[in-house]
Amino acid sequence: MEENGGITIREGERADSRSLVVVWNEFMDCHLELDPGYARREDAADMWIDYIDPSFDDPDWNMYVALDGTALVGFVIVNLAHHPPIYLNTKHGFLHAIAVLDSYRRRGVASLLLQSAERWLRARGVPEITVRIDERNAASKALFSNVEFEPWVVLWRKQID
């Protein structure tokens, strides 16, 4: 467990699931403002809990949560992934999501979460981390630029229906 400025970072637990949904819903609402493609089903929160649940038992996945006292205010989900064996470097980390409640943004919480994810990956011999962000998400672009990420592969999309 790590504490900084009243914010505590610890590994996520299954018992955090309902509190995680509050942060996840705000995260998804923020993305919905960027693109209607982020519209979600009525039961999406329950489905998301079911989706992340197996990661609590998978040694190649981890989650860190940020707490202000007992209130969960942010999280990061990371996994150890693999490139095809044709490459010299076959391991990489992938950040599936990082989310911080709006009222806690720009206070270093996301950076603390990222530091924990990086330490976890380094301990597993992972030399790089990738993340997908929405091109229109200025806050995410600023965050990842500030912590020395750089654009790498560009994902393009075409609506066909």
pLDDT level of residue 155 (50, 70, 90 thresholds): confident
Whether the pLDDT of residue 138 is over 80: the answer is yes
Q: What is the identity of the amino acid at 15?
A: A
**Burial of 125 per CB tally in 10 Å (0-12, 13-18, 19+):** exposed
Domains defined along the chain, listed by start: 2-146 (3.40.630.30)
pLDDT of residue 5: 73
Query: pLDDT (tens digit, 9 = 90+) per residue, 89-126?
Result: 899 999 999 999 999 999 999 999 999 999 999 999 99
For helices 109-122 and 138-146, angle between their N-to-C axes, nearest 10 degrees: 50
Distance, in Å, from the CA atom of 23 to the CA atom of 36, rounded to the nearest integer, reads 19
Nearest to 78 by CA among 65, 94, 66: 94
Whether the pLDDT of residue 3 is over 80: the answer is no
